[in-house]
Amino acid sequence: MSRRSLTLLVAGFLTLALAVVGAVLPVPYVVLSPGPTENTIGDVKGKPVISISGHETYPTDGRLSLVTVAYQGGPDNRLDLVTALRGWLDPTVAVVPEETLFPRTSSAKEVEEQNTQEMTDSQQSATAAALNALKIPIQKTISVAATDKGAPADGRLKPGDEITAVDGAPAGALESVAAAVQKHKPGEQVTFTVKRGTTTSDVVVGTKQGPDGHAVVGVRMRSAYRFPFKVDISVGEVGGPSAGLMFSLGIYDKLTPGSLTGGKSVAGTGTIDPTGVVGPIGGIEQKMVGARKAGATVFLTPSGNCADAVRAVPAGMRLVKVDTLDGAIKALDALRSGSANLPSCPAS
């Protein structure tokens, strides 16, 4: 065999070996791609995304679509090098370090649980924001988010419990509950009045000394809300807080006469708090691609995401900048009336 033939043979073998290794070599990256869109005033698998009972609702049309990001990879299912390289060459996806989605301090299961909790909190905030916009009174409550393992509250208080009183005094705010516990000496007992489902009962919990010397029970609380009628939101396995704005708009649309969209296909994203303030999210580029593929021509964009959005907006899609739920409603009113005066993301 000539030297030239031998060189070509060795080079071919090395190329093949590198290709094989690349196909199986795991890398600590995650591929983000456009995920499914869901119409918040429509149905998913025959079930309304938003169901309202106990209050009058009105017909809607068009689409108010939430958008999602799908991911491939993660600590339990690492990407191979070839898939990562393919992602880097695709302008519609992003390849990011694994710890962007999965912090090293959390397991994949913990991240999933956090995303689920964020979705639950987002639905509460979205409902509160929509009802506040409609001047419908709501009641703020305090509920148990979690208990610390091995703490006095562990096994006594449960996630979702509504704390209505402490030692017989009504629970006003998160700070007042903590203050009521700290009135006790470590080792003493605290009586929580708790609503669990449809049952209200007193739960006696011991205390221990916290890092600052005060009595603690080892419970983490969050603000929640009691609404005057039932609002159910169902989107399957979608997680995270970024659909808050679109949930609020869907609820508002169903509770008001007429159509917010005027029959148009509108998509959008953004977190929302109970006062209606809209916050930025991640994956804006992939979400816009998914929305456009689903037929959306208007995309409601948190102002904090404008800089990234204008650099990647798909052809045929109009960006409308939003800071609040009220601003989004006014923008949709203007869009429906044919006005050209809409808040837009400035060109970068």
User: Which residues are identified as catalytic?
Assistant: 242, 287
Determine which helix (DSSP H) or strand (DSSP E) holds 293, and give its type and residue range.
helix 284-293
Question: Cα–Cα distance between 82 and 72 in angstroms, integer?
Answer: 13
Distance, CA of 117 to CA of 111 (rounded, Å): 10
φ, ψ at 96 (rounded to 5°): -125, 155
**103: phi then psi, degrees, rounded to nearest 5:** -55, 145
Q: Count H helices, E strands: the chain?
A: 8, 22
How many CB atoms are located within 10 Å of the residue 289 CB?
22
Q: How far apart are CA 256 and CA 240, in angstroms?
A: 27
How many angstroms separate the CA atoms of 210 and 302, rounded? Answer: 40
Taking alpha carbons only, the member of 348, 331, 338 closest to residue 270 is 331
CA distances from 223 to 115, 123, 141, 177 (A): 18, 13, 6, 12
Residue environment code for 116-139, b if the CB has 16+ CB neighbours within 10 A, otherwise e: ebbbebbbbbbbbbbbbbeeeeee
